[in-house]
Chain A
């Protein structure tokens, strides 16, 4: 069964750091573009970051310079290192797998509260 499972969320003070993890099963993260998408309480979806072929990365302007996406091919996992956190970063963070220009696979999400 294909599955993404996020972990690492929690309560952190403004200016603090947190590292989110996304464990994949049923498919290989290194063969897919993998993104983080967040959703503030009661709000819509906001794309955060993507890691793609060759481990190149891209970020939304709102997190550029503060967040870092990475992956561990041996563990089949994707990570999001979040530094200098702000109250506006409070959200559920979803790990998502991309194909055909869309996010066809989503995890259950992990809540980050700043």
Chain B
């Protein structure tokens, strides 16, 4: 099974400042089809998760462009260029490279406002 490790687990950020979350996988997420199935999800308090970014860097329609994803192989990053109050919540990275035989999530990173 692929283990996903996020850092930091908690990130206090000032409004308007950038934030960055790292995600590392225990093995390469490059699929045999050439795609890398690493995505980022946001979970606001009391809400179900919501997809933000898929295949490393593709923003879902409607997701603000202050969110961006990057990385390759086993190391990935989610960046928020200027944190807004509505960005408070927990962020998860997720691998779907092993679909449909397994999926795994990072532990989650709690983003909070200082």
Q: A residues engaging B (CB < 8 A)?
A: 33, 35, 37, 44-47, 50, 52, 56, 58, 60, 94, 98, 100-109
Q: Is the CB of A100 within 8 A of B55?
A: yes
Contact flags (1/0) for B72-107 with A, using CB distance below 8 Å? 000000000000000000101010110111111111
Interface bin, chain B:
20 to 34
Cβ of A46: which chain B residues have Cβ within 8 Å of it? 105
A63 to chain B, nearest CB (A): 13
Closest chain-B Cβ to A112's Cβ sits at a distance in Å of 15
From B48, B101, B102, B103, A107 is in contact (CB under 8 Å) with B48
Q: Could you list which residues of chain B lie within 8 angstroms of chain A, going by C-beta atoms?
A: 31, 35, 37, 39, 41, 48-51, 54-55, 58, 60, 90, 92, 94, 96-97, 99-108
